[in-house]
Amino acid sequence: MIAIVDYELGNLGSVDKALRRVGCDARLTQEAESILAADGVVVPGVGAFGDCMRNLNRLGLAEVIRESIASGKPFLGICLGLQLLFEESEESPGVAGLGVFEGQVKLFRHDLKIPQIGWNQIKIHNTPPPHLADVPDGSNVYFVHSFHVVPADPNIVATTTDYGYEFVSSVRSGNVFACQFHPEKSQHIGLRILDNFRQEVARQAGGAP
């Protein structure tokens, strides 16, 4: 079972539908026990950094997410679900993120329109994670965001994308893969990434991919 963390914000329905389309047993839940018992965890996100962290803390889910990640089970963060993994965001000064990774979330600073809305290419860096298996370098995926992550550790960078300048569009460290783009809106490439995640969950759980 894959738990989709329901913190009362975000694109939960579309992520749930896309995961089910690739054959996942996906369940929207706020229950700590269900999240901790799941074989994989997904944190989607659309909204403001501060609002999301306040909801996670109010629902007691921030520590549950940290514990799930620490357990080693596959974890997927999408859009704001990537940004929340870092220490803080310029969007919500004074609000602490989950702090899974060192680094900040920063506003785009260029003359292009923000938010970035639409298709853009990803450039694969370092050793491609299993989540990007059969995803060609330069693939187009769908973005909607005004902020981007700036990791302290360049070794966790999985992909970058150019929008006025090069920014980090996904990270991978151990059991964690998180992306700024929306795989659930990225057609066949996005479904490939979600299916790769499904297979990773199955492998970790000892089942057939």
Question: Measuring CA to CA, which residue among 190, 189, 195 is closest to residue 22?
Answer: 195
Catalytic residue among 24, 79, 179, 200: 79
Residue that the structure tokens 């050793």 belong to: 127
Catalytic residue among 131, 148, 182, 200: 182
Residue 182 known to be catalytic: yes
Structure tokens at 11: 């694109």
HSE toward the beta carbon, residue 29, CA cutoff 13 A: 19
Catalytic residue among 91, 131, 148, 184: 184
Residue 24 known to be catalytic: no
DSSP-H helix ranges across 97-186: none
Residue 79 known to be catalytic: yes
Coil/strand/helix, residue 131: helix
* Pairing label, strands 140-145, 88-89: unpaired
- Helices then strands, counting H and E runs in the chain, come out as 6, 13
Q: Which residues are identified as catalytic?
A: 79, 182, 184
